[in-house]
Amino acid sequence: MAIERTFSIIKPDATRRNLTGAINAVFEKNGLRIVAQKRIQMTKAQAESFYGVHKERGFFNDLVSFMISGPVVVQVLEGEGAVAKNRELMGATNPANAAEGTIRKLFAESIEANSVHGSDSAENAAIEIAYFFAGAEIVG
Ligand code: RTP
Ligand code: MG
């Protein structure tokens, strides 16, 4: 499988509980390299645009409020089949349905406060990476 990149966010519920390192350890133990990373406070406009695909959903306003409720860590992860590998490591959106050992099973608080975001396709990964990082900030 080819080396590819995916976009990840460590969400506010996780930064609040000081879990950045514990989550990064899961990535690194499983062959994903953190090739870019920064801690930011997302603006409301950024969160609304990032999650624009969900704007008609009932949970949209709550999701935006949650994503700006504290700092997040945005990241680029690189490795073999990184998009699918990261989705596997994250586990199901709802931690109640997440497999043992996944990040959401280990750390998520609820379906909303579920600790991590990961791109769901290579195409979206490229869009999401470009939304938060300049090319020179990514060092493979
Ligand atoms: P993500 O985009 O954050 O990686 O998560 P995902 O693909 O597993 O889930 P998605 O369906 O794209 O939903 C995006 C995020 O919205 C919140 N959510 N809340 N209250 C609810 O019913 C609900 N459903 C989804 C979660 O934070 C989810 O990760
Ligand atoms: Mg999603």
Instruction: Report whether residue 120 contacts ligand 1, using a CB cutoff of 6 Å.
Output: yes
The pLDDT value recorded for residue 1 is 78
19 Cα–ligand 2 center, Å? 21
Residues 120-139 pLDDT 10s: 999 999 999 999 999 999 99
Output the average pLDDT for the chain: 98
Tens digits of residue pLDDT in 54-72 = 999 999 999 999 999 999 9
Question: Using a 6 Å cutoff on CB, does residue 93 contact ligand 1?
Answer: yes
CA gap 43, 45 in Å, rounded: 5
Domains of the chain as residue ranges with CATH: 3-134 (3.30.70.141)
Contact 57, 111 (CB under 8 A): no
Tens-digit pLDDT profile for residues 10-46: 999 999 999 999 999 999 999 999 999 999 999 999 9
Q: Which residues are annotated as a binding site for ATP?
A: 11, 59, 87, 93, 104, 114
**What are the residue numbers of the active site?**
117
CB atoms within 10 A of CB 19: 20
